[in-house]
Amino acid sequence: MSMHANNPKPQTPRARIRPADLPEVRGKYITEQSLSGLTWFRVGGDADVIYLPADADDLSAFLKNLATDIPVTVLGAGSNTLARDAGVRGVVIRLGRSFADIAREGETDIRAGAGALDVRVAAMAGDAGLSGLEFFSGIPGSVGGALAMNAGAYGRETADVLVRVEAVTLDGEKRELTPDALNLGYRTNGYRDRVIYTAAVLRGLPADQNTIKTQMDEIADKRGTSQPVKSRTGGSTFKNPGGASPDGPKAWKLIDAAGCRGLRVGDAQVSDLHCNFLINHGKASAANIETLGETVRQRVLETSDIDLDWEIRRIGEVAHGA
């Protein structure tokens, strides 16, 4: 069972999956939904079927009974995802409101469903007087996505505050895992394609609520002045080649040095404000955005001899002729 693929080549068309091909569930199936409405870039073709599980037990039963030749793609908040123009075959799993609960657990911990937005986790922790999770307010996405890529911002990352995760394996087994089992690194998770995360327990430290709020306000101000937060974008496009090291090479500097600031392909553009962000000005296709990204990678390779790795996750199939 495939979780997702980054192969940009047009695929041989396969028969579309229908709800009749899938197990009975307590959740909801949606057919032929355009992914353009579910991703922050606002691009992408149709998904064969979108499955909204009722809860972790429903997801578990679905995966246990799903035919092994039906591909599965997990889609979170859609903030760091590029859905290609020909859409996604098989089943797209979205963990919706039933996975968005956030609650305090004990004196120092927060339990958050995988569908909860990162900014809401930061706010909940602040209201509870728990410091250390403020950086989540600067990550546009959901907890599931933060787990899948060990998301981070402003000098901290998910691994720094993670206590344990709840997940369902691709054959339907419910599991609890510790951070050590996940092999977390800079924007990587060694367990990523082996499970679907359903919840996480995150740890903070008791602190003054006003101090926490001040830190979150500072993060909001930094984002607002340095990133195109009001544009149709997918967040940071490429990983920093130097990883989390503050002294390592930064993707945006390499892109700027390669002369790519403001570069356009159709209605897709490298942000003038932050070179590691790509923007859809309204009519860009996924092919425009991906071509722009690959052009940036090539120019950086030619000028700096550094091969940038995509941080944005690309899903689905390229339209023929694109």
DSSP strand pairing (156-157 vs 205-206) = unpaired
Continuous segment of H or E residues that includes residue 143: helix 143-149
Q: Is the pTM of this model over 0.85?
A: yes
| CA 256 vs CA 293, 294, 300, 309: distances in Å | 13, 15, 9, 16
Sorted by sequence, the CB contacts under 8 Å of residue 60 that are 6+ apart come out as 168, 172, 173, 174
According to DSSP, the residues that pair with 278 across neighbouring strands are 270
Q: Give residue 3's pLDDT.
A: 57
pLDDT band at 322 (very low <50, low <70, confident <90, very high): low
* Residue 192 pLDDT > 90: no
Q: Give residue 45's pLDDT.
A: 97
pLDDT band at 47 (very low <50, low <70, confident <90, very high): very high
* Residue 10 pLDDT > 60: no
CB 161 within 8 A of CB 202: yes
Higher pLDDT, residue 19 or 15: 19
What value, to the nearest 5°, has the Cα angle with vertex 84 and ends 305 and 118? 80
Domains with residue ranges and CATH for the chain: 19-96 (3.30.43.10), 98-210 (3.30.465.10), 232-315 (3.90.78.10)
Listing DSSP states for 260-309 in one string gives -TT-EETTEEE-SS-TT-EEE-SS--HHHHHHHHHHHHHHHHHHH---PP
Continuous segment of H or E residues that includes residue 224: helix 209-226
Of the listed ranges 19-28, 246-255, 271-280, the least confidently predicted one is: 246-255
pLDDT band at 2 (very low <50, low <70, confident <90, very high): very low
According to DSSP, the residues that pair with 301 across neighbouring strands are none
Tell me the per-residue pLDDT of 99-115, one tens digit each, with 9 for 90 and over: 999 999 999 999 999 99
CB 131 within 8 A of CB 212: yes
**Selection from 317, 245, 301 nearest residue 44 by Cα:** 317
The residues annotated with a catalytic role in the active site are: 187, 236, 311
